[in-house]
A and B are shown apart, each in its own frame.
Chain A
Amino acid sequence: MRTVLQVLIIGIQNGAILSLVGLGLALVYKATRILNFAQGEMATVPAFAAYLVMTGFVVAGDPVVSKGRLWLATIVAIVFGALLGILVNMLVIRRLTAVSPVTSLVATAAVFLFFTSIEVNRFEAKLRRFPRYVEGGFRIPGVNITVEWHTIVVLVVLGGAAALLALFFQTPPGVALLATAQEPFAAELQGVPVARMRSMAWGAAGVLAAIAGLLGAGKFNNLQPALVTTTFLIPAFTGAVLGGLTSMVGAVAGGLILGVTVAAANQINTSFSLGIPGAPQLATFLVLLLVLVFRPSGLFGQEA
């Protein structure tokens, strides 16, 4: 019982961040039909911007992070994230001559490579200390398990973001955004400013990514180049596909389910001393495969 609860808590801790990244992936996919491989770096780069604000723009050595500036850093990171999303769309995605979904995936993968390279160049492949909004945790009485306050913060932010997005898609601009994804030409004829709508979607995805970057780095208390991509992106994609790539609720549920599945796989691997290397990657791959083969539209997707 205690083990099950522990797996659940570890799973949700991880899964909540996966959901947050997945929410951004789902938003871009729903609005533009593009799988955005750069989502992880759109999170890590603003986190580095926040880091710079907190250290007073000092990189060398191991500068002291000032937690007092966390809120200022948050605002900077979010604005930076929005700009980054809009710029990626403006400078790369919109200019592709071929509009095949695979081409745009490769292009966004190149964007990931570009940002990672810049991060390594500026900040070196080192761990940098990164604060949380609320440190510490609380004990669940009886079972003697600690839950971090950070997890609660992530869950609250996640719930808020998902609810806002789900509501947004019920409003006229939200419906217009959906229309641009499904029939860009028809939407244009109906007077929807397609280019501006897409730009807005990328900006919103950038904001979500920035928040995911801040909370993801906070989870580890550390930040390093390509952090969000290497630890969260593939599972986040899998979670979003599991939930149904076009559903906001699905992205949240999928990320949480995947987080718990991976934690369970890890636990089983250690409990029964199976000694399977890379159990999390294997579990993620199997979930992705099973979902795509048996239920490609995911748990909550309508038209994936």
Chain B
Amino acid sequence: MADTVLADGALELEPAPEPDAPFRPTPRGMAARIAVLAALLALILAVPQLVPAVYVNIVTKAAVYGLVALSLNILLGYAGQVSLGHSAFFGVGAFGAGYALTKMQLPWGAALLMAALTGAVAAVVLGAIALRLRAVYFALVTISYGFVAQETLFNIRSLTGGGAGQPAPRPSLFHTDVRYAYLCIGVLAVAMLFDWRLTASRGGRAIQALRDDERVAASWGIDVTGYKILAFVISGMMAGIAGALFASIEQVVTPADFGFALSLTFVLATVVGGAGNRWGVVQGGVLFAVLPTLIDRAHANFHIWPFTSISITLEPAVEALLLILTLIFFPGGIAQQQRNLLSWLSFKRFRQPETGGGPARGGMGARP
């Protein structure tokens, strides 16, 4: 207890509250939290304006990867299902949007809807398979599914334009790079709100119960089949929307964009971010979206050792090392490392008690 007071006092001099009473920050604590949150928000909103023009599309890509990580998190972090073929949902959304925009001449909003729909369908097919298989075997199936999507589905010329790709123009209102970046950040924000409400809802809690133990969940009267499919539908919709947003960054989609490497990157981003925690996984997605550029720029500009030897070809090795170090030292990922900070920012105490799930609950480590 004294420990807690000390840690809190160092920051904002809070009196130790009653053990049972729900924690409320002091007015000063409240102000400090709001100030920090406002500063963070302002910083995020300023990023598309601050970065040099050539990097604006990287910011957009970061928002899209954040969205994909949220989508994968619903399966990996909440429902406890691994998807090593997430590039399939993502690609289906991208090509769905491209088809709607180019072949059907639909407005951009309708194309986004189409992407969500096709993504959901692609996910439900896989979800139906997931119902019948053990987790490890299912992981294998998802990998194979990703390959089929890339080699077969995305190469059907009449649907996807084949190797040359399908054009996917941006909406006219968000045509410039900077405006499009804001659009994608906006969609990410809406998705995070949605994710927040989802985890607070009955359905969201039911999905999380599946992760902990399916049989126990069933004994509580949770419809295991229904909620598992629901998790896939939501995840597929989010990935599909992310795919549509991704398609309009370069304004053309090609099958080569959606390989196994991308699926693997998504899984690594989600795990490194901290499966089960929405703030963590979004940061993971952002980190993995900017990592290639970061490494490339550091290699070009810093003339001291590690940077001189770490060229862009070693970027996947850095990703892999990040994942392995995460699994060994912080199974809860970035979210686990930021546990106290995230807790403070969500208007709770800086230091969370060790028991009773903190923000890092879930994660690869907590899975049975």
Contacts and interface: CB of A to CB of B under 8 A. Distances in A.
Contact of B264 (A101, A113, A277): A113
B227 interface: no
Interface in B115-146: 129, 132-137, 139-141, 143-145
A35 B140 contact: yes
A102 B327 contact: no
B136 A102 contact: yes
A278 B148 contact: yes
A241 B324 contact: no
Given A121-B311, A284-B147, A293-B132, 14 more contacts: A35-B140, A95-B328, A98-B364, A100-B135, A103-B367, A113-B320, A114-B317, A117-B313, A120-B313, A234-B143, A277-B156, A278-B151, A285-B141, A296-B133
Contact of B327 (A96, A279, A293): A96
A241 B143 CA distance: 14
A171 B348 CA distance: 60
A288 interface: yes
A289 B143 CA distance: 12
Interface of B: 82, 84, 129, 132-137, 139-141, 143-145, 147-148, 150-152, 155-156, 261, 264, 267-268, 271, 311, 313-321, 323-324, 327-328, 331, 364-368
Contacts of A109: 84, 264, 267
B320 A121 contact: no
A101, A114, A238, A279: residue with the most chain B Cβ atoms closer than 10 Å = A114
State the main secondary structure of chain A at its contact with B. helix
Given A121-B313, A288-B140, A293-B132, A103 B327 contact: yes
Contact of A238 (B144, B311, B327): B144
A102 B328 contact: no
A97 B365 contact: yes
A152 to B, nearest CB: 30
Contact of A114 (B132, B140, B316): B316
A114 B321 contact: yes
A117 B139 CA distance: 23
B317 A113 contact: yes
19 contacts: A35-B139, A97-B327, A97-B328, A98-B367, A101-B136, A103-B364, A110-B319, A111-B324, A113-B264, A113-B320, A116-B316, A121-B311, A121-B313, A121-B317, A278-B147, A278-B151, A281-B148, A285-B144, A296-B134
A167 interface: no
Contacts of B367: 98, 100, 102-103
A114 B84 CA distance: 17
B314 A110 contact: no
Interface of A: 35, 92, 95-98, 100-103, 105-107, 109-111, 113-114, 116-118, 120-121, 234, 237-238, 241, 276-282, 284-285, 288-289, 292-293, 296
A96 B148 contact: no
Contacts of B317: 113-114, 117-118, 121
The 6 tightest CB contacts between A and B, nearest first, are: A278-B151, A277-B155, A117-B317, A114-B320, A117-B316, A278-B152
Contacts of B331: 97-98
Nearest to A288: B144
State the main secondary structure of chain B at its contact with A. helix
Contacts of A110: 264, 268, 319-321, 323-324
Contacts of B135: 100-102
Contacts of A234: 143-144, 147
Given A117-B316, A121-B313, A106 B364 contact: yes
Given A96-B327, A113-B320, A118-B317, A241 B140 contact: yes
Contacts of A102: 82, 135-136, 139, 367
A100 B141 CA distance: 17
Nearest to B137: A292
Contacts of A289: 129, 141, 144
Nearest to B151: A278
Contacts of A238: 140, 144
Contacts of B366: 98
A241 B82 CA distance: 19
Contacts of A95: 328
A250 to B, nearest CB: 15
A101 B138 CA distance: 11
Nearest to B145: A285
A106 B271 CA distance: 9
B144 A278 contact: no
A241 B137 contact: yes
Given A100-B367, A281-B151, A117 B141 contact: no
Contacts of A103: 327, 364, 367
B133, B156, B267, B324: residue with the most chain A Cβ atoms closer than 10 Å = B324
Contacts of A97: 327-328, 331, 365
Contacts of B323: 106-107, 110
Nearest to B312: A121
Nearest to A279: B152
A296 B129 CA distance: 13
A285 B147 contact: yes
A3 B316 CA distance: 43
A92 B329 CA distance: 11
Contacts of B136: 35, 101-102, 105
A102 B139 CA distance: 7
Contacts of A113: 261, 264, 268, 316-317, 319-320
A181 B333 CA distance: 29
